[in-house]
Amino acid sequence: MNGGVLAPMLGTVVRVAVSDGARVRAGQQLVVLESMKMEHIVAAPHAGVVARVAVAEGETVRRDERLLDVIEAADTAEEHTEDVAADLDTVRADLDEVRRRHAVGQDEQRPDAVAKRHDAGRRTARENIAALCDEGTFLEYGPLVVAAQRQRRSLADLIERTPADGLVGGLAGINGALVGEEAARCAVLAYDATVLAGTQGAYNHLKKDRLFDVAARRRLPVVLYAEGGGGRPGDVDIPTVSGLQVMAFHLFAKLSGQVPLVGIAAGRCFAGNAALLGCCDVVIATRDASIGMGGPAMIEGGGLGTYEPDEVGPIDVQSPNGVVDVVVSDENEATEVAKRYLSYFQGPLTEWASADQRRLRQAVPENRVRVYDVRSVVDTLADDGSVLELRGDFGEGIITALVRIEGRPYGLLANNPAHLGGAIDSEAADKASRFMQLCDAHGLPIVSLCDTPGFMVGPDAERTATVRHVSRMFVTGANLRVPLCVIVLRKAYGLGAMAMAGGSLTVPVATVSWPTGELGGMGLEGAVKLGYRRELDAVSDPDERQQLFDQMVAMAYEHGKALNAASVFEIDDVIDPADTRRWITTTLAEPPREPGGRPFVDTW
């Protein structure tokens, strides 16, 4: 059979690979055409003998123009030979170059930098990411990037000394074995303090922009290891005057309220790194961390004095003032806490255990003025080992924690009677308000354990702008989209109790009390002193006056005790403390709301 081989396109013949009379096999190269600077191979349609070559090299042919004829001969029909299989392990030169470039930035190729890091008791950026991410899931973005300093340094030097431009970042799975691969997907970034002291360069800003954009589009949580300083003046390849047009800070801040943002600080974290850290929902920091909006050089340059890095923002400052949510011993613990924190926003667990709930019956003393440990109540109420307290050193009047009950995640608020009797001061109100925002943004129902005499009052309290700060609880509570369940442990007095309930005892999907509960417009003792001042002043004998006062307080207690409040349906029920978990899981058992949609989570 005579088969004419036609040109598939307009082009120029750059090579004729066969001649008249040549035997060819199916698929063998016959002619090479060049079209639009690209070479196209024309192959034999079947085995046979070339009868005639109709074109010459350098000739321009049109589409469907005959190039040559191939006659399928009877004696060649069985001569179809298979192409020799390519060796799949063969590494071509181009791939070998890529592999070598990738290898340069790995820890194994940087022994001196790694040793220095280890000698300081720290892990490398890549070691932290490896510990954080599920094995084999990390896909790095921009590993071949180098610092924008080619005008002042050789490319070879930049490749060796500025791998990834000092920022290791990409996508990965975290907690996949617990929550499944889909829920485990996250974006991860780690500043590399071994590269130009962890400063923020022109290209690593672009890498952040890229990853933050991907996180926004895919709705992925972000984990950031922030260590190092701010802008890098030595990047001379990209013309700039101020450098203030970078988008990273805007893009990262815009993620607030849309996806969980986790910040980890170890060592020195200043300027731009600190600004990113401060945008995070949660800040986890090692005990030796120093965190500040300006490092020693910037402070000295501003004429504000000379300081060592560890003096700028040590943990004994940044934890009590509320900057740091969780203090840990080292990067290993920081990474484990980050994984644990993320898990609450990734979904429920199927396996859990809890303490004997009958212990709650003895948690609040029968003596109504005796202090007790509310953290012990939280630990007993929640699943074993599931309590992660946030900002424990700040706003001590309120406990804020992430917990699980029957494997399901919740946010938990609890008044702390060991601090100001559970009164809510400015710091506690700020702490509670922001925590409610956090839960609302990411779809966690809220459990509120109420034991408060109300908001803190007095001249000293007012100097802290209490009126504005405590009102945040009302504004935040009134705009919650997640359900709220209130358990009155003991005191539920005044505006403070209403704030713990979202603004009113009727706002929560359930408001119940333990038998120790007592409710009222203000504390019993204060109410008696104010309401019966004339009667008390009329009794001249101090002992008799105290006896009358005690009697009136007892009467007020009977009136305000939880059983009486329940009898007029001001609360939904008075319950056996051992039944608390059932009330929580039943009343908050609605389909989880899609997280995100809140404008942002207040940084404070």
- For residue 122, the SS3 value is coil
For 367-416, write each residue's pLDDT tens digit.
988 999 999 999 999 999 999 999 999 999 999 999 999 999 999 999 99
pLDDT number for residue 79? 47
> What does the alpha-carbon distance between residue 111 and residue 78 come to, in Å, rounded to a whole number?
60
For 127-168, write each residue's pLDDT tens digit.
999 999 999 999 999 999 999 999 999 999 999 999 999 999
Both tokens of 71, joined, read: 């006659």
pLDDT number for residue 83? 52
> What does the alpha-carbon distance between residue 204 and residue 148 come to, in Å, rounded to a whole number?
10
Question: CA angle 180-185-188, nearest 5°?
Answer: 140
Q: Write down the number of H helices and E strands in the chain.
A: 23, 25
- For residue 168, the SS3 value is strand
Under 8 Å between Cβ of 247 and 213: no
209-218, 347-356, 437-446, 545-554: which range is least confident on average?
Answer: 545-554
In the predicted model, is pLDDT for residue 572 greater than 70? yes
Under 8 Å between Cβ of 499 and 477: yes
Give me the residues paired with residue 400 across strands. 390, 413
Give the residue from 560, 406, 402 showing the smallest Cα distance to 488.
560
pLDDT number for residue 93? 93
Per-domain residue ranges for the chain? 2-76, 93-344, 357-517+562-587, 523-560
Helix axes 466-478, 426-441, angle to 10 degrees: 20
**Looking up tokens 């790995």, which residue turns up?**
106
In the predicted model, is pLDDT for residue 506 greater than 60? yes
| CATH class of the domain whose range is 2-76 | mainly beta
Mean pLDDT of the region 252-275 = 96
Transcribe 492-545 into DSSP letters. EEHHHHHHHTTTSTTSSSEEEE-TT-EEESS-HHHHHHHHTHHHHHT--SHHHH
For 452-488, write each residue's pLDDT tens digit.
999 999 999 999 999 999 999 999 999 999 999 999 9
In the predicted model, is pLDDT for residue 303 greater than 50? yes
Both tokens of 150, joined, read: 């080619």
Give me the residues paired with residue 187 across strands. 171, 222
Phi and psi at residue 370, in whole multiples of 5°? Answer: -85, 130
Identical fold for domains 93-344 and 357-517+562-587, yes or no, is yes
Q: Which CATH number fits domain 93-344: 3.40.190.10, 3.90.226.10, 3.40.1000.10, 3.40.50.1860?
A: 3.90.226.10
| CATH class of the domain whose range is 357-517+562-587 | alpha beta
For 68-83, write each residue's pLDDT tens digit.
987 776 555 444 444 5
